[in-house]
Copies of this chain bind each other. A is one copy, B any other.
Amino acid sequence: MTKSVVLLSGGMDSATVLAIAQQEQQDCYALSFDYGQRHSAELNAAREIAESAGVLEHRVINIDIGQLGGSALTDEAIDVPAAGSHGIPVTYVPARNTIFLSYALAWAEVLNADRIYNGVNAVDYSGYPDCRPEYVDAFQTMANLATKRGVEGDPIQILSPLIQLSKSDIVTLGSGLGVDYSLTVSCYSAAAGGEACGECDACDLRRKGFEDACLPDPTRYI
């Protein structure tokens, strides 16, 4: 068994990634962030998923990027749009994945973990610049130069096993690994109990994922 840090948001993708890491015989340390996101139901979901998966440790770090503003997900002054927008969406949180991966890198160094698993996905969220394979590759190159492990020739590997999968591929893969998607929350405007709005981009993608995979959708709607 080797150690891995797994970024866990409480959504479907990272729950699937955690199951993949465990299938790959990793001792998993789950890392979540409280960043002033509107949908705090996501963090409760992350806690339940981590507990249900039996990770060695689950940390929630308060990173306070909400105070910087600039996104509908953290700034009350910007409305969450209905599905179907184009370009880089207003739900884009500036530099979010860079900050998340940086913390994962710090924790991986301290734990002496060999891998960082993340749920970055280029297919359904192609409007986010920091979800593309070339971005993750560039982060890996930077991380190799930033860390003791990298300098010593044994870099921490950053794995994005979902990066080229569609939402229905992800649902199919995760269901095969026994992921309980009823614990996960995707909605940008979820209620405190995790019930979804059914109208935002994230709800739209999730619903289509289950439909295309021909699997029952356990999502609870408001």
Contacts and interface: CB of A to CB of B under 8 A. Distances in A.
Contact of A105 (B62, B94, B109, B145): B94
Contact of A146 (B98, B110, B146): B98
B110 A94 contact: yes
A96 B134 CA distance: 23
Interface stretch (A20-28, A67-75, A180-188, A206-214): A67-75
Most buried by B among A62, A106, A148: A106
Interface in A47-105: 59, 61-65, 67-70, 88, 92-99, 102-103, 105
A102 B95 contact: yes
Interface of A is mostly: helix
A177 interface: no
B102 A99 contact: yes
A132 B150 CA distance: 13
A116 to B, nearest CB: 11
Nearest to A138: B142
Interface of A: 59, 61-65, 67-70, 88, 92-99, 102-103, 105-107, 109-110, 129-130, 132, 134-135, 138-139, 141-148, 150-151
